[in-house]
Amino acid sequence: MNKSNLLQNLNNLKLLPSSWAVKNFSDVVADNSGGNKKLAKSNFLDEGDIAIVDQGKDLIAGYYSDPDFMVKAKPPYVVFGDHTRAFKYIDFPFIMGADGTKILQPKKSNCNSKFLYYFFLSINVPNAGYSRHFKYLKTLKIPLPPLETQKKITRILDEADKLQQLDKQLIENYDALTQSLFLDMFGDPATNSMGWRLSTIEKILETKSQNGHYAPRQDYIRDGIQMIHMSDAFYQIVKPGNLKRVKADERLILKYEIKSKDLILSRRSLNYEGAAQPCLVPEYDEPLIYESSLIRLRPDLDIINTTFLFYFLNNQRARQRYVLKHVTRSTISGINNKGLNAIELLVPPINLQNQFAERIQAITAQKKQLQQSLVKSEELFNSLLQKAFKGELIK
């Protein structure tokens, strides 16, 4: 019988070297979350004396300067996001972000904190939505080799982790470079520091902005036309190939087709800042259409370059100055065609916009190579991680 559960394969525990022990979670891990003051997100600062760690994906969520809020236990810690399932290794004093932040530490000196962190990364915490997930951790069986073996495993995984973190950092550097390039070539969009001509979205389009197609459930079929949905447009560029397909005749395709020089924007979002977010579409060898939660912009390429338009609409200063005032605030924030068309934007000379797009293309090519490197470094790390907790990494 295959003894496994949602989190770990229990059969692997039987194959561990004889020098390893297997302990219940409650015997190894202390939950030191209680008794600490928690800071509401509305009080997070961009600068301060003490870092704030919450359950979000970023290592540090903000800063604050009141030492009364510092976690009482001494570092290091493993921080677990009770809602997000995120694990973080924290080796410095910090302040807890409110709600969902769990502080975990070994109960005894026979367990290394970093080893415990890597063990948590090796398990599969089920996704229960925005529910509590700590209950799953409490069912774990924790494999514990001798302390010296834990330290050896930790050193190997540290080196593998450095490789993937370096790739991630280099990719982030390229992302920052694109924003710096925009500012260098066009100045601060909020103040129009270089004095470019102002226009509106409506006046720089080849055709009117167009809401997408609504397809009823029965129109989704295996051999239809690929349709871009909101979930496909979250990451700034659509990745065709595995999109849902719908029935669409020539009339629908003609009306809703999306091309590589077009831009799509989200019509609505659960948060205010998420509405009117732009997304690029790559060259593709079959027709693509888009659904009704999205709006298509087809720029007049004699006036505006699609890449420039994307980076303008994605620039935080430009969004604050020109875009977000046209977004409605409600439970689901949104923008309609009237508001979208009224958005003002800078219109530098088209040759300068085209130069910007060429440089972005070169940066994107280099970034793609790094992303391929990241895939390999992540595969290596995950392979070593799995071997480590099967007792196969250190003989």
- Stretches in the chain below the pLDDT threshold 50: 1-4
| Residue (of 259, 359, 363, 361) closest to 301 by Cα position | 259
pLDDT in tens, 162-178: 999 999 999 999 989 99
* Domain pair 10-144 / 197-347, same fold: yes
Q: Pick one of 3.40.50.300, 3.40.50.1360, 3.40.50.9100, 3.90.220.20 as the CATH number of 10-144.
A: 3.90.220.20
Domain map (residue ranges) of the chain: 10-144, 145-173+354-395, 197-347
- pLDDT one-digit tens code per residue, 104-150: 999 999 999 999 999 999 999 998 877 899 999 999 999 999 999 99
- Whole-model pTM: value is 0.75
Report how far residue 328's alpha carbon sits from residue 220's, in angstroms, rounded to the nearest whole number: 31
Task: Say how far apart CA 97 and CA 345 lie, in whole Å.
Answer: 37
Residues 6+ apart with CB under 8 A from 364: none
The mean pLDDT of the chain is 93
Q: Tell me: domain 197-347, CATH 3.90.220.20, correct?
A: yes
Residue 53: helix, strand or coil by DSSP?
strand
pLDDT recorded at residue 234: 79
Work out the widest C-alpha separation in the chain, in whole angstroms.
74
Residue 369: partners with Cβ closer than 8 Å, 6 or more residues away: none
Helix (H, G, I), strand (E, B) or coil at 223: strand
Using DSSP, state whether 323 is helix, strand or coil.
helix
Please measure the distance between the N-terminal and C-terminal CA atoms of the chain and give it in whole angstroms: 28
CA distance linking residue 380 with residue 395, whole number of Å: 19
* Res 374: pLDDT: 95
| HEC-encoded secondary structure of 344-374 | EEEECCHHHHHHHHHHHHHHHHHHHHHHHHH
Rounded Cα distance, 254 and 261, in Å:
16
> What is the Cα–Cα distance from 119 to 116, expressed in whole angstroms?
5
What are 152-159's contacts with CB under 8 Å, separation 24+?
A: 152/394, 153/115, 153/118, 153/388, 153/393, 153/394, 154/112, 154/114, 154/115, 154/118, 156/384, 156/388, 156/393, 156/394, 157/118, 157/381, 157/384, 157/385, 157/388, 158/114
Q: What does the pLDDT read at residue 5?
A: 54
If one counts every other C-beta atom within 10 angstroms of the C-beta of residue 71, the result is 22
Taking only the tens place, the pLDDT of each residue in 259-298 is: 999 999 998 876 777 788 999 998 888 899 999 999 999 9
